[in-house]
Amino acid sequence: MRRAYLLLIAIFVGWGTIPVVLSHIPLAAPAQVFARVWLAAAGLGLVIAVRARRGLDAERPRLASYRPGLVAFAAAVLAVHWVAEFSAYKHGPAGTVILIVYLAPVGIALVGAKVLGEKLTARIIAALALALAGTALVARPHGGNGAAVAWAGLAAVTFVALVVASKPLAEAYGGMRTSFMEMTGAGMLLVPLAVQAHWALPASAWAWLVLLGLGHTALLTALYLACLAEVTATSVGILGYIEPVSVLFFGWLLLSQRPGPATIIGGGLIVAGGALVVSDAVPVEEVSLVVPR
C-alpha cells in the first residue's frame, strides 16, 4: 500500500508537466490526443507482445474478454476526457483548468458511495462544499474564459466516470493491459477528428509529442492504473490533488503563469476539501503516507 501511494505521488508530479509539454506542440486538441493515445498504444502493445511471448500475464483474461462493454465505455470516456482537458488548456491558464478538473475526486467519492458502496460521511460532504467554493473563486473571469471553464468542467465529469469504470478493469487485466485497451479504443474513436487536423509540425515538436505519448501517457498511465487496482478509487482521486499543485508550480516556473490571489485562495479551499476526504477515507495509521491532492 505504501509503495502504491508513493508511486502515485511521483505520477501526479510528472503529469503536472503536461501543460508545459503541450505548449511545445502546436496542434489542435483532438490531434494532440490522437497522437498521444496511438503513440502510447504502440509502446504498450510492443511490451505486452513481448510479455505474452514469455508467458507472462497468462493468468489474466484475454484482452477485451472480460466486461467488453465496460472496456468500450472507458475508451470512449477517455477520448472525451482528454479532448476536453486539452481544449481547456488552449482557452485558459493551466492552473485554472487543472483546479476545475480536479473537482473530480469529490465526484469520485460521491459516485463511489453509490457504485462502490463507500460510506458518504459528513466530512466528504464538507469537502464537496469547500471544493465548490474554491472552484467559484478559481473560475472567475480573470482566471479563465467561459470556454475554458466549460471544457474543464466536462473534463472533470468524464474523469469521475473514467476512474470508476477503470478500477474493476485494472483489477482484472492489470494496469498495462487496461491502459492499452483504453488507448486503442480512444484512438479509433478519434480517427474522424484526426483526419481533419493540420499535422504540419516543426521538427522539435515531434520530440515533445513522443515524450507525451510514451512517457506521460504509456508509462505513467499504466503505472497509475496498476496503483488504482491496489488502492481505493477515492484515495487515488485524493492523491491526484498533487497534480494541480504541480501544474501551478511548473506553470509559474516555466510558462510565467502567475496565479492571482483568487486562484490561490480557491486552490487552497479545494486542497482543504481533499484533506478532509483523506482524513475520512484513509485509516489514521496511514495518513502520514498520503499527500492530499
Model pLDDT for residues 83-132, shown as the tens digit of each residue? 998 888 788 876 678 778 878 878 887 787 778 666 667 776 787 788 77
Residue 274, pLDDT score? 65
Does the CA dihedral 82-88-93-96 come out positive or negative? negative
Find out whether 107 and 277 touch, Cβ atoms under 8 Å.
no
- Confidence grade of residue 289 (pLDDT, cut at 50, 70, 90): very low
Q: Is residue 288 predicted with pLDDT exceeding 90?
A: no
Q: Look up residue 15 and give its three cell numbers.
A: 503529469
Between 284 and 57, name the one with better pLDDT. 57
Angstrom distance (rounded) from CA 97 to CA 176: 28
- 258 secondary structure, DSSP code: P
Mean pLDDT (whole number) for 30-52 = 95
Tens digit of each residue's pLDDT (9 = 90 or more) over 143-157: 557 888 899 999 999
Phi-psi region of 144 (alpha: psi -120 to 50; beta: other; left: phi over 0): left
- pTM for this one? 0.82
Q: Look up residue 191 and give its three cell numbers.
A: 480517427
Mean pLDDT (whole number) for 23-35 = 89
* Count of Cβ atoms closer than 10 Å to residue 142 Cβ: 10
Angstrom distance (rounded) from CA 205 to CA 218: 18
Residue 201, pLDDT score? 87
Q: Is residue 55 predicted with pLDDT exceeding 50?
A: yes
Q: Is residue 267 predicted with pLDDT exceeding 80?
A: no
Mean pLDDT (whole number) for 53-67 = 93
Which residue type does 263 have?
A: T
Residue 284, pLDDT score? 38
Determine what percent of the chain is predicted with pLDDT higher than 90: 41
Distance of CA 3 to the CA centre of its chain: 20
Q: Is residue 279 predicted with pLDDT exceeding 50?
A: yes
Q: Look up residue 257 and give its three cell numbers.
A: 503563469
Determine the 3-state secondary structure of 282 from DSSP: coil
Residue 264, pLDDT score? 78
Angstrom distance (rounded) from CA 136 to CA 154: 16
Mean pLDDT (whole number) for 8-28 = 88
For residue 36, what are the contacts with CB-CB under 8 A and spacing of at least 6?
82, 209, 212, 213, 216, 217
Distance of CA 210 to the CA centre of its chain: 18
Determine what percent of the chain is predicted with pLDDT higher than 70: 85
Residue 133, pLDDT score? 81
Mean pLDDT (whole number) for 63-85 = 95
Residue 1, pLDDT score? 62
For residue 14, what are the contacts with CB-CB under 8 A and spacing of at least 6?
215, 216, 220
Q: Is residue 255 predicted with pLDDT exceeding 70?
A: no
Which residue type does 127 have?
A: A
In the block, residue with C-alpha cell 478509487: 233
Which residue type does 233 have?
A: A
Alpha helices (H) along 92-121: 94-101, 104-115
Q: Is residue 257 predicted with pLDDT exceeding 50?
A: yes
- Confidence grade of residue 291 (pLDDT, cut at 50, 70, 90): very low
Compute the mean pLDDT over every residue in the chain, rounded to the nearest whole number.
Answer: 83
- Confidence grade of residue 59 (pLDDT, cut at 50, 70, 90): very high
Q: How far apart are the first and last CA of the chain?
A: 17
List the one residue out of 83, 85, 76 whose CA is nearest residue 152. Answer: 85
Q: What are the phi and psi torsion angles at 59 (to 5°)?
A: -80, -10
Residue 246, pLDDT score? 76
- 211 secondary structure, DSSP code: I
